[in-house]
Amino acid sequence: MKFVSKKCPHCGEWSEYQDNIHEECYFCLKPLEPDTVKDYQNYEKKGKEYYEKLFEPFFPIKPQDSWFIKGIKYIVNTIGLIYVSMVSFIIAVIALLPG
């Protein structure tokens, strides 16, 4: 493995660095790349929000809906999920055909 030295932004000492964003300084035990760690945490949070929004049902089922409306929404959401799955599969097959 190749070792590189990196100057700690907190204490100013040089520490060995292996290109890992969670690498800590040998002297003060603080991260060598604090900005990158914050960016990574924000990226992870945004990714979770994106996937939660992506997999929302077409018609959200609310607790105050009557049993009839809940049933209709459940059926429509299921049909919508099946439709999106079939279209995605067809697009994937079409994309794989030329290659």
Tell me the per-residue pLDDT of 30-81, one tens digit each, with 9 for 90 and over: 888 888 878 877 887 887 888 777 777 788 889 999 999 999 999 999 999 8
Cβ count within 10 A of residue 8: 19
What is residue 93's predicted lDDT score, i.e. its pLDDT? 94
What is residue 70's predicted lDDT score, i.e. its pLDDT? 94
Give me the amino acid identity at 35: D
What is residue 95's predicted lDDT score, i.e. its pLDDT? 92
What is residue 1's predicted lDDT score, i.e. its pLDDT? 54
Q: List alpha helices for the chain, DSSP H.
A: 34-54, 67-96
2: confidence class by pLDDT, cuts 50, 70, 90: low
The angle at the Cα of 97, spanning 93 to 99, to the nearest 5 degrees, equals: 125
Does pLDDT of 86 surpass 80?
A: yes
- Which residue ranges make up each domain of the chain? 1-56, 58-99
Q: Which residue has the higher pLDDT, 78 or 17?
A: 78
